């Protein structure tokens, strides 16, 4: 719904809507700081700790594109408010969870509700703002995400020192204020020609993701049923393959697939999906292991570990001014990203191997964050290069989806390696396990660098493409 006159309250409306994105990104970064405290109080197993992170990412990934489609169908304001209310309720369930299983279920509910609320924000910005205002609006949106990213380790450390449950209780007042503000300030909008929702596609991709990831996260917890785990994983992979065949059939029949098959004919987009998956396969998984090492291996408090991790988001912020050189040095900036990530991990490994004080980790974290900050915007720019405007929204949504899949996959793979190497209890073998985690990260980002070099040189991103970039661009 295009408004003939700009809404005089549009900037307030944007700030209110961005509060939901703040909650989402805060929960992504804050939970890792609390894992050791959660283990201590709930007696959570290693596998449950992995699921506390992976359940959120999986639910978000499975339903993200669907969430955007629901807004087009039933009204973005309506779906946004429903998502915020659901996210707030899910946070309450997490805050009062008495077992690891209940917390995992609450986190999955949070991820599903985040998938409903987050895609609506940029969609509503398209309606609220004129084309000449959208760049500034997206800048405000990105600044909110940067604030949440920086706030996560510090706020999480401060709250966890009192109780890990506070990291979820804090979402309640934010959620209530966001719902109230949305009802007052946001105008309703929906697509003028909304496509039908592919419910069969939603069911297939959701089931396939869970079936594929379950045996990876469970690992040794499957006990002697290794064959069952292999069969479940193979079945999940088959379902995902079937999902893409289903999307081709929907498109051939003139329907509206969740993922337009034509996107995969674009080489740059295919490579961009692969790079995005590998990139996020490292980040969340690394901070899960890093926080456990600091708190259980080095006996640091949650606040101290949050302070140690702070150079990473600071590095992301310091990289932002480099985007002004995007036109001249875009491909070089993109290629430098994974190399800086590998170098940052290598510096941290050296500090660990030589037994230096923990503060020697800070330069490596800063360099790694800087590399991550270079890759985020440039990767989306490059992957969307050549994507038709008619499917730009679906393309950016798919990039976000594979980022979440990468997060869950990384938590499963690195988490399994890390916890397997722990010996004699969580505090005894964290140095050896953390060393292996660093080698995993170094190798992963070197492979990412090789893949990045295969991506063709992009053109300068157009204004419509920039306006379609979703929340991954600011992470």
**Tokens of residue 6, six digits:** 């700009």
pLDDT of 377 > 60? The answer is yes
- Confidence at 85, pLDDT banded by 50, 70, 90: very high
Q: How many CA atoms lie within 13 A of 235 on its CB side?
A: 13
CA separation for the pair 396, 272 (Å, rounded): 11
In tens, the pLDDT along 252-307 reads 888 778 888 888 888 888 888 899 899 888 887 898 889 889 988 888 988 898 89
Helix 430-452 with 392-421: angle, nearest 10 deg: 150
Residue 350: helix, strand or coil by DSSP? helix
- 374 pLDDT above the threshold of 70: yes
What's the CA gap between 450 and 445, in Å, rounded?
9
The fold for domain 263-475 equals Growth Hormone; Chain: A; (1.20.1250)
pLDDT band at 2 (very low <50, low <70, confident <90, very high): very low
The DSSP result for 212-247, as a single string, is: HHHHHHHGGGGTT-HHHHHHHHHHHHHHHHHHHHHH
Rounded Cα distance, 334 and 217, in Å: 31
- What pLDDT does residue 67 have? 84
45 three-state secondary structure: coil
**Does the structure show a pLDDT above 50 at 458?**
yes
User: Considering the chain, what percentage of its residues have pLDDT values greater than 90?
Assistant: 24
- The CATH architecture of the domain made up of 10-190 is Up-down Bundle (1.20)
How confident is the model at residue 213, as a pLDDT? 80
Number of H helices, E strands in the chain: 17, 0
**Which pLDDT tens digit goes with each residue over 303-354?**
898 899 889 988 988 887 877 776 676 678 888 999 999 999 999 999 998 8
- Asked whether the domain spanning 263-475 has the same topology as the one spanning 10-190, the reply is yes
Least confident of 103-112, 165-174, 223-232, 443-452: 223-232
Is pLDDT of 360 > 70?
Answer: yes
Domains of the chain by residue range: 10-190, 199-257, 263-475
pLDDT level of residue 463 (50, 70, 90 thresholds): very low
- The pLDDT mean for the chain works out to 82
Q: What percent of the chain has pLDDT over 70?
A: 86
Average pLDDT over residues 112-124: 85
Global pTM value: 0.82
Under the banding of pLDDT at 50, 70 and 90, the label for residue 5 is: low
Host H or E run for residue 221: none
- Model confidence at 205, pLDDT cuts 50, 70, 90, reads confident
Q: Indicate whether 160 pLDDT > 50.
A: yes
């Amino acid at each position: 719904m295009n408004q003939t006159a700009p809404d005089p309250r549009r900037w307030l409306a944007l700030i209110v809507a961005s509060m939901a994105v703040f909650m989402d990104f805060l929960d992504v970064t804050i939970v890792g700081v609390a894992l050791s405290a959660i283990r201590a109080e709930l007696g959570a197993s290693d596998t449950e700790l992995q699921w506390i992170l992976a359940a959120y990412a999986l639910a978000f990934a499975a339903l993200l594109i669907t969430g955007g489609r629901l807004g087009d169908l039933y009204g973005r304001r309506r779906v946004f408010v429903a998502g915020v209310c659901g996210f707030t309720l899910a946070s309450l369930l997490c805050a009062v969870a008495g077992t690891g299983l209940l917390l995992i279920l609450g986190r999955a509910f949070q991820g599903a509700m985040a998938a409903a609320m987050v895609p609506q924000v940029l969609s509503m910005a398209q309606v609220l703002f004129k084309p000449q205002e959208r760049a500034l609006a997206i800048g405000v949106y990105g600044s909110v995400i940067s604030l949440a990213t920086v706030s996560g380790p510090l706020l999480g450390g401060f709250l966890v020192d009192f109780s890990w449950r506070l990291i979820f209780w804090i979402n309640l007042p934010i959620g209530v204020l966001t719902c109230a503000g949305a009802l007052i300030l946001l105008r309703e909008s929906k697509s003028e020609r909304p496509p039908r929702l592919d419910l069969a596609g939603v069911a297939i991709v959701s089931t396939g993701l869970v079936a594929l990831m379950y045996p990876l996260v469970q690992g040794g917890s499957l006990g002697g049923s290794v064959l069952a785990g292999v069969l479940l994983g193979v079945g999940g992979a088959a379902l995902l393959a079937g999902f893409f065949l289903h999307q081709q059939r929907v498109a051939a029949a003139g329907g509206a697939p969740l993922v337009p098959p034509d996107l995969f004919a674009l080489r740059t987009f295919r490579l961009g999906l692969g790079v995005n998956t590998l990139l996020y396969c490292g980040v969340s998984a690394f901070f899960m292991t890093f926080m456990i090492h600091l708190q259980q291996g080095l006996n640091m408090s949650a606040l101290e570990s949050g302070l140690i991790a702070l150079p990473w988001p600071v590095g992301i912020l310091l990289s932002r001014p480099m985007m002004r050189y995007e036109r001249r040095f875009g491909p070089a900036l993109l290629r430098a990203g994974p190399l800086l990530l590998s170098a940052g991990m290598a510096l941290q490994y050296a500090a660990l191997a030589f037994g230096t004080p923990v503060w020697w980790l800070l330069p490596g974290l800063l360099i790694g964050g800087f590399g991550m900050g270079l890759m985020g915007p440039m990767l989306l720019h490059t992957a969307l290069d050549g994507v038709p405007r008619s499917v730009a929204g679906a393309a950016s949504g798919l990039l976000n989806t594979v980022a979440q899949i990468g997060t869950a996959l990384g938590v499963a793979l690195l988490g399994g390696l890390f916890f397997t190497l722990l010996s004699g209890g969580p505090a005894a073998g964290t140095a050896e396990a953390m060393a292996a985690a660093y080698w995993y990260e170094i190798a992963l980002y070197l492979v990412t660098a090789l893949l990045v070099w295969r991506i063709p040189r992009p053109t300068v991103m157009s204004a419509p493409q920039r306006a379609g970039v979703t929340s991954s661009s600011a992470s």
